[in-house]
Amino acid sequence: MITSEELLARVRDLLAAHPPGESDRTDFLRARFDAGLAWVHYPEGLGGLGAPRSLQAVVDAELEAAGAPGNDPRRIGIGLGMAAPTILAYGTEEQKHRFLRPLWVGEEVWCQLFSEPGAGSDLAALATRAVREEDSGDWIVDGQKVWTSSAHTARWAILIARTDPALPKHRGITYFLCDMHAPGVEVRPLRQITGEAEFNEVFLTGVRIPDAHRLGAVGQGWEVARTTLMNERVSIGGMRIPREGGMIGPVSAVWRERPELRTHALHQRLLELWVEAEVARLTGERLRQQLAAGQPGPEGSGMKLTFARLNQEISGLEVELLGAEGLLYEDWTMRRPEIVDFTGRDAGYRYLRAKGNSIEGGTSEVLLNIVAERVLGLPAEPRDDKDTAWKDLAR
């Protein structure tokens, strides 16, 4: 097992061969990946060294101190947090070597083609079809996806589609890697309450996907998708942040800098939310320690639940604290952002954008069921459609 001292030696070798101030950013990131310092817990040859996940912090701190460029994780978060761990778990060796390096470096942005107009909270009810062509073995995909972040900048997508409508809805699904530049892929912006179009709807019309881009076995899509979803909730709710990071930071700063806005009632609410935010931050640290020893489980759903609730309550308190000033929103435009900036914008933006936190990455209602069943051990919600063929379900 590699030690932290050996890792640091590798970092120093990388910095000596590719001085950050003199090297091209992309070249440096490629060299970092090839040295096994991208995600150290991944296998050798795939950006890692098979080391404990906890040692990644040692690498990151040394590189940050040296002024090394990062891979802009907010821009490629879907690839890092969702596509990569799923490809690692279910991909062929060819798929891993083809996709993981450009994904981590940021040369290829990813998006997620899961939710549909009639299959959001009940994702397994999806209707997008993938039919295998006999002659070529390729899959022809038709359907519509919705709430797709980054589809307008993505090169690749993780996609689930129905391949056998005669099976119950969870069993007739297959998982694919879809080329967003393929003929038949159409991306349309969805204007949000913030005025932006960060999300999209995606129409798939006769899109051809080679069987080599199928992830997992035919019909195994729901199992593969669950791996994606568990990692997604951890990446949304379990991000590493400093004390007073995230939403609690701006409102705390306003409180300190604007004493004329303070009231006793608002002070009590701020203290309560500050403590909750700190508890959530420390819980996230513990979750990451657990991840160092294995794979994410339902704990990520609990963290994502807390993230959504706190963001909405904190942003609401900030608007109330600022009064009429909190309603100002200086850049109401139909922008197509590559990343979501929760803390560098107006209070009015934070308040509006936080409304989506309880929907994206799994609705809070669905996550409550997951926590109830898989963490607390409560009886599962009654379902009368588990054994019915998808084609026979009422829609």
For residue 142, the domain's CATH number is 2.40.110.10
Residue 232 pLDDT exceeds 80: no
The residue among 76, 71, 69, 60 whose CA lies nearest residue 109 is 76
Q: Which of these ranges, 25-29, 136-140, 241-245, 318-322, has the smallest mean pLDDT?
A: 241-245
357-to-1, 23, 130, 237, 272 alpha-carbon distances in Å: 40, 38, 31, 10, 20
| 209 and 131, same domain (yes or no) | yes
The residue among 91, 88, 20 whose CA lies nearest residue 48 is 88
| 253 and 366, same domain (yes or no) | yes
Confirm whether 248 is domain-assigned: yes
Which residues are the active-site residues? Answer: 232
Confirm whether 383 is domain-assigned: no
Percent of the chain residues past pLDDT 70, beyond the cut: 93
pLDDT band at residue 308, thresholds of 50, 70 and 90?
A: very high
Confirm whether 135 is domain-assigned: yes
Bridge partners, 202 (sequence order):
145, 187
| 118 and 215, same domain (yes or no) | yes
Where are the alpha helices (H) located in the chain, listed in sequence order?
A: 4-17, 25-34, 56-65, 77-78, 84-90, 93-105, 221-237, 248-257, 264-291, 299-322, 347-353, 364-370
The DSSP 8-state label assigned to residue 48 in this structure reads: B
The residue among 184, 214, 212, 192 whose CA lies nearest residue 86 is 214
Number of domains in the chain: 3
| 136 and 191, same domain (yes or no) | yes
Residue 95 pLDDT exceeds 60: yes
User: 299-322 and 221-237 are packed helices; what angle lies between their axes, rounded to 10 degrees?
Assistant: 40
pTM of structure? 0.88
Structural domain span for residue 149: 110-220
Residues 6+ apart with CB under 8 A from 379: 373
